Structure 1
């Protein structure tokens, strides 16, 4: 299940700092829980911020035009790269 020889591929993880959404809110909520001995009643503010971030992410749609690798594969079908 490897890639074909001489195929174009871009590793998107190397470009930019693409962190998963709501990472900051999740880390602050987990650190609050850890510092309060797993008592989430004391971390209501952090919990509300995390839930607001997660709810905001549910409404976002993916980009309709596909990924960079999809377009590279389409372009490479008609051309030979030596």
Structure 2
């Protein structure tokens, strides 16, 4: 398996394509440390986002990934750790 990196740009694309964005939210702004709920993404949108990440990156996400990593910065770091674990497994 080749080494992959999950970026904030990839997350933005998945969020926008899967769930759109609240009218008042600019994902191009400084939102790395803003909670997904504050960005307008609720559980159903995050479930869709998680499913797309799993399919596109070939990994399995823990059920509590968004609860444990409630901001884009934290989620990107967690997914990159999972991808790294998959490479070394």
On whether the aligned pair clears a TM of 0.5, the verdict is: no
- Structure of larger gyration radius: 1
Structure 1-normalised TM-score?
A: 0.29
